[in-house]
Structure 1
Amino acid sequence: MGSGVIAILLTLMAVVAEMQIEGLTDFTRLDFPPPPNFVFGSGSSAYQVEGAALEDGRTPSIWDTYAHSGYTHGANGDVACDEYHKYKEDVHLMAETGLEAYRFSISWSRLIPNGTGAVNPKGLQYYNNLINELINHGIEPHVTLFHYDTPQILEDEYGGWLSKKAVKDFVAYANVCFREFGDRVQHWTTFNEPNVFVLFGYDSGLLPPNRCSSPFGTNCTRGNSSTEPYTAAHNILMAHASTAKLYMKKYKAVQHGFIGLNIFSYWYIPYTNATEDVIATQRANDFFIGWFLNPLVYGDYPEIMKKNAGTRIPTFTKIESREVKGSFDFLGVNHYATAQVKDMSISLQMDSRDLLADMAVTIKLNESDFPPGQFPLNPAGLKELLEYLKGYGNPPIYIHENGLSAIRNGTLDDIPRLQYLQGFIGSLLTAIRNGSNTKGYFTWSFLDVFELLDGYNSGYGLYYVDLDDKNLKRYPKLSAQWYSSFLKGRSTSSDQKIEVSANISDFKESHFSQ
């Protein structure tokens, strides 16, 4: 990061404490438990931020194949934010912002290009360098092992997560990570939101590996929407359980770390007060959350899933049930929005069904609560979700992703995102005061990264990345300034409004033309 950019950033951060936005509640970082009992950070994933997709021995993942097949508006992650080369600058920027932790994922196909076997020295060096740089700046690394990026070679060889072979290969990959990085990494997440990965990757076919069958999905050349989501999810659960068993048996006593699994979740509310919609809301939670949390906590799938899916959902053997039950130290949660649930039990009368038909609901985002194209601004939904998760034994939880998308048009004046973060962090504080065992909060995302569904048309970043600049310069948005002010213990509201250039061209002209 150039010294000029840092100087500008520091100047803006010095005045952000004088910002006032109507209707915001006043609280500070000091109202939360201090590190290490609670950490604030931000996040990314390997394919979305690293770039260098064809460099230093890395091989394609299914996400590369997906992006290069035209599903993301012609964009791809070949270069992305180029954090592979710019990690030192980015970590320095994280430190200046005040991040206490950084969540990132390791690219399986960068570390082990063939999916199995030999470790890539260049990949190993990169992740060692990144981890060391974070620690040298006082930032705690939180590592995700799988973020939608099965090595394409394994997908081609045996169908990826449709095969039990993936369980063995994933555990071997995780073992390399624990062995090489575990002396410095204390928090390991095996899978990022596998409920979304299998639902959209193997049922609707909207995400990699693009498997589905008619009439449940479109644009797929292979797949079976009725069975494959359940099969892939089962294998992922067993891969998680086997990986957790390895860590707890071989590494935990020496490395003293923690291992968990991440899920995506809306906060669901009934569309009406009708009994069928209330029941449908619980069914949606059982299918979307309980699909993974029930096995982790109780050793089996929810009864309603087993009833509606019948023989299409795998059965846990007694040994599998024992292995998966209790196989976590924490849960990761990705939460963005509240959604309404309407009963669609009529779908259960279909002769052929997929997972969504088995769920028998219609999910509605409450569009009246938010601008077109954005998520509903319902911060209270996070508090309610955390209250619901207390029913699983009040496990330790990290909010791994929370943020607001906006069109990438060069605007730095992102007050809606600032308000979103302030509202959700305030809701989180209420949940903690009500007894939630939440241990951390990460914004999504630190930079405007390559987005899986939208390429570079939209972004969630605290920092704008200028894709037209050969150096991919980073620029702070108002949300970055607010978050930094908050992390440094300043009040979230005060008496004077901040002034900042509203778009990137004005920012560059006023600060870099001299």
Structure 2
Amino acid sequence: MEPETSLNFTLMLTFLLYLNLVMGVLSVDHYRRVDFPDEFVFGSGTSAYQVEGASNEDGRTPSIWDTFAHAVYEHGENGDLACDGYHKYKEDVQLMVETGLEAYRFSISWSRLIPNGRGPVNPKGLQYYNNLINELISKGIQPHVTLHNCDLPQALEDEYGGWVSRDIIRDFTNYADVCFREFGDRVQYWTTVNEPNAFALGGYDQGTSPPQRCSPPFCTTNSTRGNSTYEPYLAVHHILLSHSSAVRLYRRKYRDQQHGYVGISVYTFGFIPLTDSEKDKAASQRARDFLVGWIIEPLVHGDYPISMKKNAGARIPTFTTRESEQLKGSSDFIGVIYYNNVNVTDNPDALKTPLRDILADMAASLIYLQDLFSEEEYPVTPWSLREELNNFQLNYGNPPIFIHENGQRTMSNSSLQDVSRVKYLQGNIGGVLDALRDGSNIKGYFAWSFLDLFELLAGYKSSFGLYYVDRDDPELKRYPKLSAKWYKWFLRGTIELKKDASFDSVGHLFQ
């Protein structure tokens, strides 16, 4: 080969290798567990009311979720028994080991640990959570703990209205103090409140979830208390102040010894403009401000998004200078909860109505309730999850992120061949790797959910679990679905996956 020809060949080969590298960074087609950083954790999750059961045992008192479930659901569907995780936690942790989970996300029932919401700690509740945490640690599984997941003690709701009162800041901080003190030597990752934006919209605007506070014409239920016009804003305001108070306490009192991290989680969609018009694009950003920026911007900038303050006016509370300073930088990480996309179109007429709720304040038409109450399965759109994760990088300073919930909804049945769930997980984990390679600061991924649970909006009618729970069996026997087997093989690193390929290409491995 002539020197000039050899040089040209070398340059061409170098260019092709470089192009291949760039294309690999731009989009993940094939991936394995080893393609993620060593410190990246994969897990799954549940929450206390959805999994524990034992609702009247060992000193536990009702939460607002107990009250809601007993008032709303038909055929006695509630979390009184749930998956009986309170008694079966050792069996469940062993299933986690068999699945290969590296981390487990769960919540603490405030009313099990401190039955009156404040005051004496329940020794039986304390023992249960110590036992669960110790079992996880002994099996090499990292515990990630949420302090509040839609289950405020009913005693505090009855006494002063719960999250609509500033009194909650004191009581939540004291509750967090107990948890940090008792469990913080083994728990490094704490989430103060699970998805406060969705909690406020469902619980204080539409009345579709605990504590079912809302007012006409915005109620979708027959609630007779609450005010949809301002209570959602007030509840989130007090949640944010409670969060910053708990974080301040942890950093002052515990961080130097325990070396842990305290964050908060947020529910998000992929916000897709209905058309390419500038108005719909602006409406999509406004919708994102109202749902995501509502929680994140006070933690980054110390105040609510400008579009929220403009549209909601005096109905949205204000932070004092001191509160604003305490909020800024008060989250060590953000938990992202993502399932699906919504189409957004401009709807300025919503602002002209004399009586408005938070959805009207968005001045955009969100396919929100239709999505939440639909029984359809979610589409697989890894590109949308990637885009939303990149928005945190671009707009909020690229904070550390854990994907706290991501999973496929199916109708509950005894079929263990949940191919659609496998396709969903396979695609979205690939989307997470895409975002990582874009530079997003993502630390872990938790598939929702570990077991088939009592779901907030559907009871036992819908299913997200990797494991099927036979509710006709007195022992509530667990059975691994295809998705559990797929997750196990992926975590073992024994298969390479193509995120947008047909499941048929790897499905034979799990039969």
The two structures share one fold, judged by TM-score above 0.5: yes
- Superposition deviation, residue 377 in structure 1: 2.0
Distance 1:351 1:424, change over 3 A: same
**Preserved CA contact (<8 Å) 1:59 1:109:** yes
Match of 1:177 in 2: 179
Match of 1:355 in 2: 358
Q: Does 1:379 align with 2:382?
A: yes
- Superposition deviation, residue 362 in structure 1: 1.1
Task: Pick the aligned partner of 2:60 from 43, 47, 58.
Answer: 58
- Given residue 176 of structure 1, which amino acid in structure 2 is its aligned partner? V
Task: Pick the aligned partner of 1:474 from 475, 478, 488.
Answer: 478
- Superposition deviation, residue 492 in structure 1: 3.8
**Preserved CA contact (<8 Å) 1:73 1:455:** no
Match of 2:438 in 1: 434
C-alpha deviations, 1:110-153, integer Å up to 9, x for none?
Answer: 00000000000000000000000000000000000000001000
Match of 1:421 in 2: 425
Task: Pick the aligned partner of 2:332 from 314, 329, 333.
Answer: 329
**Preserved CA contact (<8 Å) 1:213 1:224:** yes
Match of 2:412 in 1: 408
- Give me the whole-angstrom Cα distance separating, in 2, the residues matched to 1:254 and 1:397: 23
- Give me the whole-angstrom Cα distance separating, in 2, the residues matched to 1:372 and 1:44: 21
Match of 2:306 in 1: 303
- Give me the whole-angstrom Cα distance separating, in 2, the residues matched to 1:404 and 1:397: 21
Task: Pick the aligned partner of 1:67 from 62, 66, 69.
Answer: 69
**Preserved CA contact (<8 Å) 2:485 2:510:** no
- Give me the whole-angstrom Cα distance separating, in 1, the residues matched to 2:363 and 2:381: 25
- Given residue 471 of structure 1, which amino acid in structure 2 is its aligned partner? E
- Give me the whole-angstrom Cα distance separating, in 2, the residues matched to 1:457 and 1:96: 27
What's the secondary structure of 2:209's corresponding residue?
A: coil
- Give me the whole-angstrom Cα distance separating, in 1, the residues matched to 2:303 and 2:183: 32
Match of 1:490 in 2: 494
**Preserved CA contact (<8 Å) 1:60 1:152:** yes
Residues 80-479 of structure 1 aligned to structure 2 (within 5 Å): 80-218=82-220, 219-364=222-367, 373-390=376-393, 391-479=395-483
**Structure with greater contact order relative to length (CA < 8 Å, sep ≥ 6):** 1
**Preserved CA contact (<8 Å) 1:50 1:79:** yes
**Preserved CA contact (<8 Å) 2:375 2:462:** no
- Give me the whole-angstrom Cα distance separating, in 1, the residues matched to 2:282 and 2:365: 13
Distance 1:437 1:496, change over 3 A: closer
What's the secondary structure of 2:508's corresponding residue?
A: coil
- Give me the whole-angstrom Cα distance separating, in 2, the residues matched to 1:146 and 1:67: 17
- Give me the whole-angstrom Cα distance separating, in 2, the residues matched to 1:343 and 1:65: 38
Moved beyond 4 Å, runs of 4+ = 365-368, 493-497
- Given residue 329 of structure 1, which amino acid in structure 2 is its aligned partner? D
- Given residue 109 of structure 1, which amino acid in structure 2 is its aligned partner? S
What's the secondary structure of 1:203's corresponding residue?
A: helix
- Given residue 285 of structure 1, which amino acid in structure 2 is its aligned partner? R
- Given residue 284 of structure 1, which amino acid in structure 2 is its aligned partner? A
**Preserved CA contact (<8 Å) 2:375 2:410:** no
Distance 1:82 1:280, change over 3 A: same
Match of 2:11 in 1: none
- Given residue 498 of structure 1, which amino acid in structure 2 is its aligned partner? H
- Given residue 342 of structure 1, which amino acid in structure 2 is its aligned partner? T
Task: Pick the aligned partner of 1:33 from 6, 31, 37.
Answer: 37
Unaligned residue ranges in structure 1 (runs of 5+): 1-23, 502-514
- Given residue 64 of structure 2, which amino acid in structure 1 is its aligned partner? I
- Given residue 433 of structure 2, which amino acid in structure 1 is its aligned partner? L
- Give me the whole-angstrom Cα distance separating, in 2, the residues matched to 1:380 and 1:366: 23
- Superposition deviation, residue 74 in structure 1: 3.5
**Preserved CA contact (<8 Å) 1:63 1:148:** yes
- Give me the whole-angstrom Cα distance separating, in 2, the residues matched to 1:129 and 1:149: 21
RMSD: 1.8
**Preserved CA contact (<8 Å) 1:103 1:442:** yes
What's the secondary structure of 1:297's corresponding residue?
A: helix
- Given residue 93 of structure 1, which amino acid in structure 2 is its aligned partner? L
Q: Which has the larger radius of gyration?
A: 2
What's the secondary structure of 2:146's corresponding residue?
A: strand
C-alpha deviations, 1:386-416, integer Å up to 9, x for none?
Answer: 1101020000000000000111111100000
- Give me the whole-angstrom Cα distance separating, in 1, the residues matched to 2:509 and 2:246: 50
What's the secondary structure of 1:69's corresponding residue?
A: helix
